[in-house]
Amino acid sequence: SSGINAEYGQMSKRLTTMNSRYEALESRRNLEIEGFKTDVQMLRKRVQELEKQLIRVSLKEKENPEMYVLKHVKSTAERSKKLMGEVNKVKSRLYSVENNMRRNF
């Protein structure tokens, strides 16, 4: 009888430990999901900002094409290339985070 009670006590402790570990794991998982969502929102906002910048640069070219092209072709091309590279990097990170979220949750 005392052996059964001891065994029951050990199993009860194990169950309590496993339940608390599971709750901690679930809590961590929820925090990670929250973090991923925040990252996705920030990356989307950054993509929008970069796209707006790119549009502004493109619109400047249309204001006075002859003068603008003569004065700023090289710098505009470099800025546009840099902005496109940054937009692509941010989009890539965004897709990566979204894919990780889908795979893990």
pLDDT digits (tens, 9 = 90+) for 55-84: 777 666 566 666 655 666 677 777 778 888
Whether 54 shows a pLDDT value over 70: the answer reads: yes
Q: Which residue has the higher pLDDT, 56 or 48?
A: 48
Instruction: Report helix, strand or coil for 64.
Output: coil
The two tokens of residue 19 are 């339940």
Q: pTM here? A: 0.47
Q: What angle do CA 24, 27, 31 make, to 5 degrees?
A: 140
Residue 64 phi/psi, 5-degree rounding, is: -140, 85
Regarding predicted confidence, which is higher, 89 or 75?
A: 89
pLDDT tens-place string over residues 1-34? 788 888 999 999 999 999 999 999 999 988 988 8
Supply the pLDDT for residue 13. 95
Residue 23: both structure tokens together:
């709750």
